[in-house]
Amino acid sequence: MTDTDPIEPNDGDDQVQPDAEAGADQAPAAGASAGDDAAEGEELTVDEILDADQTDDAIVQEKSDYETQLLNDLKRIQAEYANYRRRTEEQRQVEIDRAKGEVAKGMLPVLDDLDRAAKHGDLEEGSAFAIVAEKMRGLAERTGLVAYGEAGEAFDPQQHEAVFQQPTPGATESTILEVAEVGYRLGDVELRPAKVVVAVPAD
């Protein structure tokens, strides 16, 4: 009886394993090929790249236009505010000058009385009346009230009102002979022209 090597039964593992190993060796290659195909599918064309660049340029231009608009709006608001302040200051000054003018006009009769009193010698130096008169005149000066019109000045019809013309021998031009009523200005505003007697050349 001949001894023979026992034949071990094949359980199928050895046959499947080579196929599995082959499949494993082929799987990465297949996967890599698929990945390469996918990568190739995601590549952008030249037109798409140009479109993307144009889109970026459009966004940048839109942002620049918006900033320019905001800057222009800011400049316009600043100009409007500056004009508003200027108009407000001008109107405020007009109101101040108007108020000063009203106060000054109310002082004119009192100043006229003081001038008449001085001409009649009623303002004796050091008297209480003279002290009050000086204070009143000082107040008028601080207000900005300026008196004008004195004898001997050249007659100016723009500033003086002639109440009488006196022909005077030797006179070569019209001059103020006598001041009947002093004129007053407040800044550039004439509150009252000076009323004067004018000496004119005799015929």
Is residue 173 in a domain? yes
Is residue 87 in a domain? no
Is residue 55 in a domain? no
Q: What is the pLDDT of residues 131-157, one digit of tens each?
A: 888 999 888 888 888 888 888 888 988
Is residue 162 in a domain? yes
Residue 7 clears pLDDT 50, i.e. is over it: no
Kindly indicate the confidence band of residue 81, based on its pLDDT and cuts at 50, 70 and 90.
very high
CA quadruple 151, 153, 155, 159: dihedral sign:
negative
Give the pLDDT of residue 16.
44
- The DSSP letter of residue 153 is S
Q: What is the pLDDT of residues 17-41, one digit of tens each?
A: 444 444 444 444 444 444 444 444 4
What CATH number corresponds to the domain at position 177? 2.30.22.10
Residue ranges making up the domain that contains 159: 145-203
Q: In 3-state terms, what secondary structure has residue 177?
A: strand
Angstrom CA distances, 144 to 4, 120, 151, stand at 147, 27, 23
Is residue 202 in a domain? yes
Is residue 149 in a domain? yes
What average pLDDT does the segment 50-58 reach? 65
Residue pointed to by tokens 């144009």: 54
CB 149 within 8 A of CB 157: no
Nearest-CA neighbor of 173 among 139, 134, 201, 132? 201
Is residue 57 in a domain? no
Is residue 14 in a domain? no
Give the pLDDT of residue 6.
47
Alpha carbon distance 150, 163 (integer Å): 15
